[in-house]
Amino acid sequence: MCADQVVPWPGRSAPLGATYDPVRGGVNVAVFSRRAESVEVCLLDSAGAETNRIGLHERTGHVWHAFLPGVEPGTRYGFRVHGPWDPARGLRFNPAKLLLDPYARAITGGYAGHPASYAHVHTGPGSDDTVRDERDSAPHVPHAVVVDPADASPTGTRPGTAWTDTVLYELHVRGFTRSHPEVPPHQRGTYAGLAHPAVVEYLTGLGVTAVELLPVHHFVSEEHLLRSGRRNYWGYNSIGFFAPHAGYSSAGTLGGQVREFQEMVRTLHAAGLEVILDVVYNHTAEGDETGPTLSFRGLDNVEYYRLRDGRHYADVTGCGNTLDARSPQVIALIADSLRYWVTEMGVDGFRFDLASALIRGPVGADAPDPRAALLTVLAQDPVLADVKLIAEPWDATAAGYLLGGFPPPWAEWNDRYRGCVRDFWRGAPAGVDDLAYRLSGSSDLFAHPGRGPIASVNYVTSHDGFTLRDLVSYTSKRNQANGEDNRDGTDDNRSWNCGEEGETATFGVLVLRERQMRNMLMTLLLSVGTPMLVAGDERARTQRGNNNAYCQDNEISWVDWTPDPTADRLTEFTRTLLALRHAHPVFRQQGFFTGAPIGAHGQPDLEWFTEAGERLTNEDWHDPHRSALGVLLCGDAIHQRGPQGETLTDDSFLLLLNAGAEALAWRMPTTTFATGFVPVLDSDPGHSVDGQTVLAPGETLTLTGRSAVLLRVLGEPDPLIG
């Protein structure tokens, strides 16, 4: 509730946002606008009707502020900002539009694209943005909500998982539990659903260490989706960088979403799971100059957005606008948001969508700059020093591609890994030289001072593109359900349908598809670097060939928990792989391999072999038709120490990969210290592995066509190592 008549006190210019003070009995409100002529805060009742409009007459620097006595948590509010309407100069002030507080901790209410939510006269796509619309937008836009900090829930002790031990699991809060049979119906698709004991048990039993949540900053849907009866499912359309998305709350949207998110984090932390947020600071839901005015555009358009000629937006995100991360206010907004999610919401790290867009230079000479001001600010922040930072090292333009270019301690999504592994297993004539780099940590990309293999986030699939099952079931995308005549989504899928397109009952095709999925899981989880799985891939989840399901809030996108033999076998195979990775630090290297001899045996830390059991020659490395590769990782050459400074040693392993269609008689190497080789894992589910069979050097092992085998290497201990 709020007081009927509020007489404001001067208040303070910091912190920004609406801050409840129980001692003084009210709320301090502060909002930034450099170019505004005056600012009002509006209070609304439970029905969304305006009850008070209060001028913020105090101004410190460019911050307008007041203290509102008698205003309590749960109150809805927004801003109206007065100033010139001159789109040619980027000035788009319109006090008829109720604006969200950029620092709002909670947001309530829907958005349906009503014409009144546009600051200009809006008649549909291509509307003229030069005429100001005087209709009140308050009934048609989301509202900020005052939150009581005392209502916060503790988020528990952080797991503090080392990068070398990290396994990321990308999931959608709604889609992961929307169909889960053990989650109560009212909690399915919510933060509480993700914290349900059955869900947490599944995650920990699988062996992942961190959930990477698709965007949970409050977002709204784009106009073209609303017109077609669809909505944004993925959430890459943020409008509130401090507010948990209200649509994922089972506890109400007047602050209940904040506590529910915190309780989810506490539960996941107690299970040893870290929480990583996929954050979208590169653009907002306001779109281009013809989009709605919901917050930033009406507060100070010139300050928040990159403009190329005053009126039009410089768009390197493909979403209509780009936040100007050279602006001190935008830098402060991003840094404040990150700190809030760490200190108050308990998260353990962030994956930055289209991160290159945040480090662009001036418009017109805007190549990404690894020494950009935003990166400097984040690097020196003590709150952010101990959290994981992951860049998607590109944006929507070719000039924004910066893989390997971010400074330490950043990690980066490695799309070179994705493309290479897909090409190898689909049989593309690419050879094995690039594959060797990807398997061993991508030193060609990340061997810079302060960086190591852990900087490479290895993945074969992500939310964007085919699922693992669809990658082996479709050669072409099937995006008709998105309503864009199958024009959306990439055509560069690097997929192979194993002989038939789409779903099939042909036994041989199904067997091959399952083996191909196991091949790629085995490659991913035994590669050096930081692996990322996508939720449901371990269950052979399909999107029916849709490789851009951003607007599919239905069974196309939701994880299917229906019992299924293939799903069960693949899940158990994934558990086995993750347990093996966890048990053996040889797969979790912190430093790059050197190829130098180790100890008295003279065994290199890394060796590559052909199917003949011989080391690869220069000709082999450059043979585009080579489809088989063996790699031996030496357990006496772990490039990190134990927690008490002890030298780490491990078993040595030989990984054999055969992407050819025909079976191979693989000869065990004789040019190593090995006295024997024990098969421990085979991607062919028709082959049983007992972990006891020993193959002598020179003996052959038959690899099924398109399969992988992992062998433990037997040998006498190195007397110089122990």
Q: What is the pLDDT of residue 646?
A: 84
Res 509 pLDDT > 90 = yes
Instruction: Work out the mean pLDDT of the chain and round it to a whole number.
Output: 95
Q: What is the pLDDT of residue 3?
A: 47
How far is C-alpha 126 from the geometric centre of its chain's CA atoms?
A: 33
Q: 314, 365 in Cβ contact below 8 A?
A: no
Res 135 pLDDT > 70 = yes
Of 356-370, 415-429, 481-495, the least confident: 356-370
Q: Which of 655, 679, 650 is nearest to 585 (CA)?
A: 650
DSSP at 313: B
Active-site residue flag, 392: yes
How confident is the model over 455-473, as a mean pLDDT? Answer: 98
Give, to the nearest 10 degrees, the angle between helix 256-270 and helix 197-206: 40
Q: What is the pLDDT of residue 401?
A: 96
Active-site choice (133, 278, 353, 434): 353
Q: What is the pLDDT of residue 654?
A: 98
Q: Which residue has the higher pLDDT, 23 or 125?
A: 23
Res 496 pLDDT > 90 = yes
Res 667 pLDDT > 60 = yes
Work out the pLDDT band at 223, boundaries 50, 70, 90: very high
pLDDT in tens, 27-64: 999 999 999 999 999 999 988 899 999 999 999 999 99
How confident is the model over 74-100, as a mean pLDDT? Answer: 98
Report the percent of the chain where pLDDT is more than 70: 98
The reported pTM is 0.97
Res 2 pLDDT > 50 = no
pLDDT in tens, 176-195: 999 999 999 999 999 999 99
Res 363 pLDDT > 90 = no
Q: Name the amino acid, one letter, at 69.
A: P
How far is C-alpha 434 from the geometric centre of its chain's CA atoms?
A: 25
Give, to the nearest 10 degrees, the angle between helix 296-304 and helix 328-343: 120
How confident is the model over 348-364, as a mean pLDDT? Answer: 95
Active-site choice (392, 395, 538, 718): 392
Res 435 pLDDT > 80 = yes
Give, to the nearest 10 degrees, the angle between helix 565-583 and helix 197-206: 60
Of 541-545, 603-607, 624-628, the least confident: 603-607
Res 719 pLDDT > 70 = no
Active-site residue flag, 353: yes
Work out the pLDDT band at 600, boundaries 50, 70, 90: low
Q: What is the pLDDT of residue 722?
A: 41
CA distances to 239, 262, 463, 537, 562 from 558, in Å: 24, 24, 12, 12, 12
